[in-house]
Chain A
């Protein structure tokens, strides 16, 4: 009699029980969607630990023994070329361009959010509009310029281009993160006699710091992923990891396990950075418009 008034855990009213079952079903559905979306990536991971013979079976062998041969081969264990030069090129192009982006974007974002220059929205939209300019449209002149100045196959050229590619995104993201810093606190600090470096270190950095770090990670990801510029503007010396990956297949025939190992290794830095910046990722990619 009293169960309807005081439902216990085991005696929920029918409607609530139905809602609970439905919610459990939807949770399972979400899990199924998550696993099936991740499946190709998990398959790549599994294949990378198989021997070449086990990797190329049909139907697939799930019970095949695991080995590090694919990775050993990829890192030149079999006497083949080592991937270190392209990996180091990618790392330097990405890190140096990220640093340069921060150096250029931080003051700009500071002016746009805290100082609020006049017509600041116009400036913001100028930055955004450069991002809408497809890269292919400027590729040929850049190539000709590089060829005539001897800068082809040079990592520093990639650093410059990746900086221009990421600068608009960084300005937009950081503008939105710096806008989170209450101007009244900054003014109060200034009234108390704090100078700009102190204000930046004590007031701005703690609030905007995590966002700035996420911005840096996203710029790193974009530079690391880039293929078209690297493909056209580099050759042997400055080849980056994505270019190495595309050439890797044709030059050595197809070794599936080794290719999967290579893809895993090249993707690892991005996966790590992406998982770390997960929450801020969407804001960065939607140019700060979604909070």
Chain B
């Protein structure tokens, strides 16, 4: 190739790539560089209240993360919280999506009602659950209990203090309420992309409702279920708002993001907090690797279709 043509080729390739550069440079600077700094800080013993004593300690912060009972507990809490919220909201979301996948009067309105929990500002939702629903004295739950007891003629009904009696469940219930609509929306999109002819054919062949669901709908939904589970995990592993608002991480509800926040913002243990942060990243990478694989399989189909 004559040098001139090669140069103009290169120029054209750059002209194609150039529009990508601002976004790429910005993202590397604002997200990747801080993480590298976190990696470096995690190798130091560094308490900001005692900055003179900053010293390189290698991996000992990581050893502390895994041996400190409080931190270990928050790893366990994170796993429990994420898994239970994701599973419960996927199951509920599937039921709701199946209900909404059929024509009935006011379907659009019901869909709007159902996605409302997802559209409340997370802090508002958490405050709503903590004060307007769970409050032992005038929360809606205990109010409804005493109203129902009144109907039955019971004078002093049980008035549980929901948050202190079942703290983790209280946080999980609020999160399930917020995330179920998200799962429903994804699964509804999946249901509505089922090939109509195939459903028709199965119906004509005499397949019952359950058979259609088991052998056609569920396999078709598999990728949407995976997508919902994995994206839900990636978002919920990082949850901070609900834990911070409802229990302030007390009573065994501190998950890793809350613990990292507390370790550096309140305990000023910079090195330890960074190590815990890196552990969160490793955990997320494990989940995200699966997530990326699922998304990429959906994406590849689209790419070949285009």
Q: Counting CB contacts under 8 A, is A134 at the interface?
A: yes
A-B contact pairs, 26 of them (CB 8 A): A23-B102, A26-B102, A26-B104, A30-B99, A34-B109, A34-B110, A37-B177, A38-B113, A40-B129, A44-B128, A56-B137, A123-B20, A134-B280, A134-B281, A134-B284, A138-B31, A140-B37, A140-B277, A164-B26, A227-B240, A228-B257, A228-B261, A242-B121, A266-B121, A274-B115, A289-B227
B residues whose Cβ falls under 8 Å from a Cβ of A: 13, 16-20, 22-24, 26-27, 30-35, 37-38, 41, 95-96, 99-100, 102, 104-107, 109-124, 127-129, 131-133, 135, 137-138, 140, 142-144, 146-147, 150, 177, 180-182, 185-186, 188-190, 193, 224, 227-228, 231, 234, 237-238, 240-241, 244-245, 256-257, 260-261, 264-265, 270, 273-274, 277-278, 280-281, 284-285, 288, 291-292, 295-296, 298-300, 302-303, 306
**Known contacts A41-B117, A260-B132, A124 near B186 by CB under 8 Å:** no
Instruction: Determine if B22 and A107 form an interchain contact, defined as CB atoms under 8 angstroms apart.
Output: yes
**Known contacts A30-B99, A41-B120, A256-B138, A111 near B110 by CB under 8 Å:** no
Q: Please provide the chain A residues from 146 to 182 with a CB less than 8 Å away from any CB of chain B in the complex.
A: 160-161, 163-164, 167-168, 171, 176, 179
Q: How many A-B residue pairs have CB under 8 A?
A: 308
Instruction: Determine if A140 and B274 form an interchain contact, defined as CB atoms under 8 angstroms apart.
Output: yes
| Complex alpha-carbon distance, A139 and B259, angstroms | 13
How distant is A202 from chain B, measured CB to nearest CB, in Å? 20
| Complex alpha-carbon distance, A281 and B77, angstroms | 30
Interface locus among A10-18, A57-65, A77-85, A184-192: A57-65
Q: Counting CB contacts under 8 A, is A108 at the interface?
A: yes
- Contact residues of B: prevailing secondary structure: helix
CB-CB nearest in chain A for B138 = A56
Instruction: Determine if B20 and A111 form an interchain contact, defined as CB atoms under 8 angstroms apart.
Output: yes
Instruction: Determine if B104 and A125 form an interchain contact, defined as CB atoms under 8 angstroms apart.
Output: no
Q: Which of A40, A135, A227, A271 meets B123, CB within 8 Å?
A: A227
Q: Which of A38, A133, A179 meets B114, CB within 8 Å?
A: A38
Which residues of chain A are near B147, meaning CB under 8 Å? 59-60
| Complex alpha-carbon distance, A245 and B41, angstroms | 32
Which residues of chain B are near A67, meaning CB under 8 Å? none
How distant is B92 from chain A, measured CB to nearest CB, in Å? 9
Q: Counting CB contacts under 8 A, is A3 at the interface?
A: no
Which residues of chain B are near A142, meaning CB under 8 Å? 34
Known: A31-B106, A245-B121. 10 other contacts (CB 8 A): A30-B104, A33-B110, A56-B137, A57-B138, A111-B18, A138-B31, A142-B34, A227-B123, A227-B240, A266-B124
Instruction: Determine if B281 and A105 form an interchain contact, defined as CB atoms under 8 angstroms apart.
Output: no
Q: Please provide the chain A residues from 245 to 276 with a CB less than 8 Å away from any CB of chain B in the complex.
A: 245-246, 249, 254, 256, 259-260, 263-264, 266-267, 270-271, 274-275
Instruction: Determine if B116 and A41 form an interchain contact, defined as CB atoms under 8 angstroms apart.
Output: yes
CB-CB nearest in chain A for B37 = A141
CB-CB nearest in chain B for A273 = B119
| Complex alpha-carbon distance, A188 and B67, angstroms | 66
Instruction: Determine if B140 and A40 form an interchain contact, defined as CB atoms under 8 angstroms apart.
Output: yes
| Complex alpha-carbon distance, A99 and B266, angstroms | 34
How distant is A230 from chain B, measured CB to nearest CB, in Å? 10
Which residues of chain A are near B99, meaning CB under 8 Å? 26, 29-30, 33
